[in-house]
């Protein structure tokens, strides 16, 4: 039963990673860039949600929508100002620019909201008005799943299915896949490549905002540097599942969360991240393109 | 005199650049030593001299991996960390045996380099099989693993020699590793190295930079260096003319790791307290920024970028709280200015005399 509760907390943590990783993998698939600023968009989403609930006194669900709207605009602006001029540049130049954007967001947040951790009220509180836990009991109350975990898992699955449908069936989604295959050919077919990339950034950033609110609902505190480690882990999850693949990012995120939770419980709290990264390395050595990634042989 | 100028003119362009690099480093060292002894530099700047030397060595060594070998490494700080802590252990435990500080520093740097080279070999064998962004994420992962392992390490020294323990579940303390009561704690887990005797000096940093430059520049200009660059430019073509991929990749990667370890030992012996969290992903990124802004494969560029960018947050002190924000904006603007197609075309139009300015994409 103890194992089951660790497993559940692992899956809900993994669902947050998976939502971030889905955004990451979309952006990577089309722009072929490591967007290190993605983790910091998560942090901005969290702060917007805090501001919405504490200053504007909006309900939790509305604060999520507001955070999504702000982050979408932020993502599109970042893409337009910092990444668009570098379309033809080397990938390293784009990487360093992304790092610059990440520093910028962190330090801007530091100036606006201060360095000390801010308390975050979960969008579904841990206990209800009567003091009973907001959780679904299983096996006669031996194990329980909190509603926030259920919400996270549900959101993650819905987002994954919606993105799979979107990229597979809709016109814009097909345009995205075309751009990720070959930008030049896509342009010749009449696809507006720049607009497609902007839309991808908008989707990725909106997902980051959702992930930010959910992540802070688990950790219940928020700092300007909160986003960087989940950002790196989500990137790891995307690579783990095969970067560019939507089901891969989902699988990678959930597996990563489970590994982290079980490693913390049974092996060592201090070495949890080391174990997680060690598993990643082993998987990549056995399957160099990730779990569900396509292997593209190099041609001369 | 005439003979000398003729001789200089007869040298290859790369040789001239190399000599200019050595000369520049020597001149900078002499200048800063004189300024420091004259008391012109304030304390915060004199305190930055040794870390700047360490970061210059880091940048030059990372440039060997990223610029010359062409593989993106995001875990260079991990090797620095291995070098720093093994160097600190060596220096602290040899305190009684070798009283002379410069000799102990030299041994510590050597030990740091050797241990980092071993780590580089262990990391390099699996990592170099991967390519591109996959290689980047695995080096990142290794950097984080090294950081967390050192975070769990307890090391002490007494008359029986070194005592080590691995604090897996967080329950052990420095008193549990079986030291005699008078023993000296060297590394205390997450607290890192404490009470280290600070023996690093600016002169040692300068000598380390010169040795690094001699090693890296000679490697790059040698037959092996040309093989490494051939691998960077086209791996398959290089392989087809009989270049041993694994051998040359490992050569560049391990050399780079060893130099990072040496830099780490110098850095570690400059502070009495040093935690493993100092060598996180952010430090790797910091050094990567130096390398990219200095120019890939360009060693003197790395040296200047490391020195200037390490100093920049200090110079921006007048902006107070805004300084890291300004740093970020400067970083983005520099990347846009040097890489954007539109800006290059614009520059080509405004400055028509700079031929080829618009075509250097």
User: From B287, which residue of chain A is nearest by alpha-carbon distance?
Assistant: A96
Q: Is residue A205 part of a domain?
A: yes
Q: Which residues contact B188 (CB under 8 A, 6 or more apart)?
A: B154, B173, B174, B194
Q: Choose among A93, A101, A298: nearest Cβ to B236.
A: A298
The reply to whether A115 touches chain B by the CB within 8 Å rule is no
Contacts of A95 in chain B (CB under 8 A): 72, 288, 292
In this structure, of A32-41, A142-151, A177-186, B238-247, the range with the lowest mean pLDDT score is A142-151
Is the pLDDT assigned to residue B22 strictly greater than 50? yes
Could you say which residues from 224 to 243 on chain A have a Cβ atom under 8 Å away from some Cβ of chain B? 228, 232, 235-236, 239, 243
Is the pLDDT assigned to residue A117 strictly greater than 90? no
* Whole-prediction pTM: 0.86
Which single residue is written with the structure tokens 């696809």? A191
Q: Is residue B8 part of a domain?
A: no
Could you say which residues from 112 to 151 on chain B have a Cβ atom under 8 Å away from some Cβ of chain A? 126, 129-131, 133-134, 136-138, 140-142, 144-145, 148-149, 151
Q: Look at A270 and B151 and tell me if their CB atoms are within 8 Å.
A: yes
Q: Is residue A300 part of a domain?
A: no
What confidence category does residue B361 fall into, taking pLDDT thresholds of 50, 70 and 90? very low
Give the pLDDT score at B248: 93
For residues B57-85, give the mean pLDDT: 93
What confidence category does residue B355 fall into, taking pLDDT thresholds of 50, 70 and 90? very low
Q: Look at B144 and A92 and tell me if their CB atoms are within 8 Å.
A: no
For residues A129-152, give the mean pLDDT: 77
In this structure, of A145-149, B11-15, B92-96, B345-349, the range with the lowest mean pLDDT score is B345-349
Contacts of B138 in chain A (CB under 8 A): 280-281, 284
Q: Look at A277 and B145 and tell me if their CB atoms are within 8 Å.
A: yes
The reply to whether B346 touches chain A by the CB within 8 Å rule is no
What CATH number is given to the structural domain containing A253?
1.10.3470
Q: Which helix (H) or strand (E) holds B43?
A: helix B43-63
Q: Is residue B71 part of a domain?
A: yes
CA distance B182 to chain A (A): 29
Q: Choose among B141, B285, B327: nearest Cβ to A281.
A: B141
CA distance B338 to chain A (A): 9
Q: Choose among A103, A268, A285: nearest Cβ to B168.
A: A268
Q: Is residue A133 part of a domain?
A: no
Give the pLDDT score at A29: 84
Question: By C-alpha distance, which of A257, A10, A5, A12 is closest to A152?
Answer: A12
Q: Could you read off the pLDDT of A48-66 as tens digits, one per residue?
A: 998 888 888 888 788 899 9
Is the pLDDT assigned to residue B359 strictly greater than 90? no
A90 is in which domain, residue-wise? 11-114+146-286
Q: Is residue B291 part of a domain?
A: yes
Contacts of B289 in chain A (CB under 8 A): 96, 99
Which single residue is written with the structure tokens 């990678």? A252
What's the rounded Cα separation, in Å, for the pair B138 and B264? 21
Give the largest Cα separation in chain B, rounded. Answer: 76
Q: Is residue B2 part of a domain?
A: no
What is the percent of chain B with per-residue pLDDT over 90, rounded to a whole number? Answer: 40
| Virtual torsion, Cα B132, B138, B143, B149, nearest 10 deg | -170
B157 is in which domain, residue-wise? 21-350
Domains: count for chain A = 1
Which single residue is written with the structure tokens 């989940």? A230
CA distance B335 to chain A (A): 6
Cβ atoms within 10 Å of B100's Cβ, excluding its own: 9
Q: Which residues contact A163 (CB under 8 A, 6 or more apart)?
A: A22, A26, A203, A246
Q: Could you read off the pLDDT of B35-50 as tens digits, one per residue?
A: 888 888 788 888 889 9
Does A289 or A205 have the greater pLDDT score? Answer: A205
DSSP string, A94-125: HHHHHHHHHHHHHHHHHHHH-SSPEE---SS-
- What pairs with residue A143 in β-bridges? A138
Q: Look at A271 and B152 and tell me if their CB atoms are within 8 Å.
A: yes
Q: Is residue A259 part of a domain?
A: yes
What's the rounded Cα separation, in Å, for the pair A208 and A153? 15
What is the percent of chain B with per-residue pLDDT over 70, rounded to a whole number? Answer: 95
Q: Look at B72 and A95 and tell me if their CB atoms are within 8 Å.
A: yes
The reply to whether B321 touches chain A by the CB within 8 Å rule is yes
What confidence category does residue A297 fall into, taking pLDDT thresholds of 50, 70 and 90? low
The reply to whether B324 touches chain A by the CB within 8 Å rule is yes
Is the pLDDT assigned to residue B357 strictly greater than 80? no
Domains: count for chain B = 1
CA distance A281 to chain B (A): 6
Q: Choose among A86, A271, A285: nearest Cβ to B339.
A: A86
Give the pLDDT score at B292: 87
Q: Look at B321 and A111 and tell me if their CB atoms are within 8 Å.
A: yes
What confidence category does residue B360 fall into, taking pLDDT thresholds of 50, 70 and 90? very low
Q: Token pair of A52, please? A: 């919405």
What confidence category does residue B263 fall into, taking pLDDT thresholds of 50, 70 and 90? very high
Does B195 or B309 have the greater pLDDT score? Answer: B309
What's the rounded Cα separation, in Å, for the pair B256 and B264? 12
Q: Look at A271 and B331 and tell me if their CB atoms are within 8 Å.
A: no
Q: Is residue B16 part of a domain?
A: no
The reply to whether B309 touches chain A by the CB within 8 Å rule is no
Q: Look at A271 and B341 and tell me if their CB atoms are within 8 Å.
A: no
Q: Is residue B232 part of a domain?
A: yes
For residues A271-282, give the mean pLDDT: 87
What confidence category does residue A22 fall into, taking pLDDT thresholds of 50, 70 and 90? very high
For residues B187-192, give the mean pLDDT: 80
| Average pLDDT of the residues of chain B | 86
Give the pLDDT score at B336: 87
Give the pLDDT score at A219: 83
- What is the torsional sign of CA A156, A157, A158, A159? positive
CA distance B178 to chain A (A): 22
CA distance A138 to chain B (A): 31
* Under 8 Å between Cβ of B143 and B76: yes
The reply to whether B233 touches chain A by the CB within 8 Å rule is no
Q: Is residue A79 part of a domain?
A: yes
Q: Could you read off the pLDDT of B114-156 as tens digits, one per residue?
A: 999 999 999 888 888 877 777 888 888 899 899 988 888 888 8
What confidence category does residue B68 fall into, taking pLDDT thresholds of 50, 70 and 90? very high
Q: What letter would DSSP give residue A293?
A: P
Q: Which residues contact A285 (CB under 8 A, 6 or more apart)?
A: B126, B129, B130
Contacts of B327 in chain A (CB under 8 A): 103
Is the pLDDT assigned to residue A300 strictly greater than 70? no
Q: Is residue B15 part of a domain?
A: no
What's the rounded Cα separation, in Å, for the pair B136 and A212? 25
For chain B, the residue count is: 361
Question: By C-alpha distance, which of B144, B151, B142 is closest to B119?
Answer: B142
Q: Look at B144 and A277 and tell me if their CB atoms are within 8 Å.
A: yes
Q: Token pair of B266, please? A: 């110098």
Predicted-complex ipTM score? 0.84
Is the pLDDT assigned to residue B173 strictly greater than 80? no
Q: Is residue A297 part of a domain?
A: no
Give the pLDDT score at B64: 94
Is the pLDDT assigned to residue B354 strictly greater than 50? no
């Amino acid at each position: 039963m103890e194992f089951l509760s660790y497993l559940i907390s692992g899956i809900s943590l993994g669902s947050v990673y998976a939502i971030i990783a889905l955004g990451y993998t979309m952006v990577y698939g089309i722009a072929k860039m490591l967007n290190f600023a993605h983790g910091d968009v998560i942090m901005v989403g969290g702060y917007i949600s805090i501001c919405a609930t504490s200053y504007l006194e909006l309900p939790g669900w509305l604060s999520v929508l507001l955070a999504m709207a702000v982050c979408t605009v932020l993502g599109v602006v970042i893409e337009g100002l910092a990444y668009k001029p570098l379309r033809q540049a080397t990938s390293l130049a784009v990487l360093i620019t992304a790092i610059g954007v990440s520093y910028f967001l962190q330090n801007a947040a530091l100036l606006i909201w201060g360095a000390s951790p801010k308390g975050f009220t979960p969008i579904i509180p841990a206990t209800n008005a009567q003091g009973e836990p907001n959780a679904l009991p299983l096996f006669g109350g031996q194990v329980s799943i909190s509603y926030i975990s259920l919400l996270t898992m549900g959101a993650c699955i819905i987002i994954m299915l919606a993105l799979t449908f979107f990229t597979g069936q809709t016109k814009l989604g097909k345009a995205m896949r075309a751009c990720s295959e070959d930008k030049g050919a896509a342009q010749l077919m009449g696809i507006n490549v720049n607009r497609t990339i902007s839309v991808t950034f908008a989707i990725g950033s909106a997902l980051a905002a959702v992930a930010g609110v959910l992540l802070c609902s688990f950790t219940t505190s928020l700092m300007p540097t909160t986003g960087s480690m989940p950002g790196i882990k989500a990137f790891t999850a995307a690579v783990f599942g095969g970067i560019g693949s939507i089901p891969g990012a989902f699988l990678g995120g959930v597996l990563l969360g489970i590994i982290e939770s079980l490693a913390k419980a049974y092996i060592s709290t201090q070495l949890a991240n080391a174990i997680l990264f060690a598993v990643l390395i082993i998987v990549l050595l056995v399957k160099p393109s990730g779990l569900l990634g396509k292997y593209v042989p190099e041609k001369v | 005199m005439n003979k000398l100028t003729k001789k200089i003119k007869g040298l290859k362009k790369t040789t001239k650049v190399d000599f200019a690099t050595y000369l520049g480093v020597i001149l900078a060292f002499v200048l800063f030593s004189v300024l420091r002894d004259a008391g012109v530099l304030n304390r915060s700047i004199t305190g930055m001299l040794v870390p700047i030397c360490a970061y210059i060595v880091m940048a030059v060594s990372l440039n060997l991996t990223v610029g010359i070998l062409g593989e993106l490494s995001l875990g260079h700080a991990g090797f620095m960390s291995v070098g720093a802590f093994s160097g600190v252990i060596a220096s602290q435990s040899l305190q009684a045996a070798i009283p002379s500080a410069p000799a102990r520093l030299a041994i510590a740097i050597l030990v740091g380099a050797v241990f980092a080279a071993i780590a580089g070999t262990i990391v390099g064998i699996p990592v170099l099989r991967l390519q591109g962004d996959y290689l980047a994420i695995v080096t990142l992962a290794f950097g984080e693993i090294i950081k967390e392992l050192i975070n769990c390490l307890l090391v002490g020294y007494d008359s029986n020699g070194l005592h080590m323990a691995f604090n897996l579940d967080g329950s052990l303390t420095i008193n549990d590793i079986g030291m005699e009561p008078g023993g000296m704690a060297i590394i205390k887990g997450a607290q890192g190295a404490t009470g280290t005797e600070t023996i690093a000096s600016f002169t040692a940093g300068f000598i380390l930079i010169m040795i690094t430059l001699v090693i890296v520049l000679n490697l790059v200009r040698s037959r092996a260096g040309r093989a490494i660059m051939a691998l960077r430019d086209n791996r398959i073509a290089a392989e087809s003319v009989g270049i041993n991929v694994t051998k040359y990749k490992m050569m560049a990667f391990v050399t780079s790791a060893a130099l990072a370890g040496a830099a780490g030992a110098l850095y570690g012996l400059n502070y009495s307290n040093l935690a493993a969290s100092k060598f996180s992903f952010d430090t790797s990124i910091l050094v990567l920024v130096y390398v990219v802004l200095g120019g890939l494969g360009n060693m003197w560029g790395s040296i200047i970028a490391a020195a200037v960018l390490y100093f920049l947050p200090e110079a921006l002190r007048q902006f107070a709280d805004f300084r890291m924000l300004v740093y970020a904006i400067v970083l983005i603007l520099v990347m846009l200015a040097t890489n954007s197609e539109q800006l290059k075309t614009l520059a080509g139009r405004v400055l028509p005399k700079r031929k080829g300015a618009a075509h250097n994409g």
